[in-house]
Chains A and B, each alone.
Chain A
């Protein structure tokens, strides 16, 4: 149904009850849903933060040190701590939902959801270790 639906004599008004703008405060599961959706804001902030890091590194050692010093300021640190909690919430909910969204068959049998979830968490651990090794293997 399109928002621009025209109402005519033969097409009466749809029966729709107006939802409160604050419908997501009615239940904990609704709040969790909207918080998960809001993680998008922190994903975008983190991309910006990482691009500032790339820019600082490309400008030289001094710029890189200035970036590191800026990242210790209280507002940036608090923003990054908040972003981290939202990003981890995104990761956990994403991996928990994956077995429901993906149906994988092996030799004609459906792979149990717990296996898919476990493989996702294993992949997460491997990706984490690889990034840490790449960045800290100085």
Chain B
């Protein structure tokens, strides 16, 4: 679990800021033109890109689940709800990964 958490942490640190800067801030504010649909479709159409994006999403979800679990554990001190929190966090990560696999699989 520690290895998956770390891998997700590294990927989140390396890649999320630029993705959020572009799609979350610069494109919406009109400071930069977004890529055309055709270009993004070509990028997503490559099988390696989809495999990478699936691993990226799954690892980030596991990272987020693991960290959020300890946020609840340490922050709110709800040790008596540990099993429920585990199911909620890791179950959510597994479900999210399945949704990611489905959406990436469906890219024509």
Contact = CB atoms under 8 A, between A and B. Distances in A.
Contacts of B70: 37
B18 A127 contact: yes
Given A3-B82, A37-B74, A131-B19, A138 B36 contact: yes
B88 interface: no
B86 to A, nearest CB: 13
Interface in B1-34: 8-10, 12-25, 27-30, 32, 34
B37 A57 contact: yes
Given A21-B77, A94-B9, A84 B17 contact: yes
Interface of A: 3, 19, 21, 24, 34, 37-41, 43-44, 46-51, 53-55, 57-58, 60-61, 64-65, 68, 71-72, 76-77, 80-81, 83-84, 87-88, 90-91, 94-95, 123-124, 127-128, 131-132, 134-136, 138
A57 B44 contact: yes
B36 A54 contact: no
Contact of B71 (A34, A54, A124): A34
24 contacts: A3-B80, A38-B71, A44-B61, A44-B96, A46-B19, A47-B64, A47-B100, A49-B23, A54-B53, A55-B103, A61-B37, A64-B40, A71-B23, A77-B29, A87-B12, A87-B16, A88-B17, A90-B9, A128-B18, A131-B19, A131-B22, A132-B22, A134-B43, A136-B35
A80 B24 contact: yes
Nearest to A83: B20
A135 B12 contact: no
Nearest to B70: A37
Contacts of B8: 43
A43 B60 contact: yes
Contacts of A61: 37
7 cross-chain pairs, A with B, having the tightest CB-CB distances, nearest first: A80-B24, A40-B67, A91-B13, A37-B71, A44-B64, A127-B14, A40-B64
B107 interface: yes
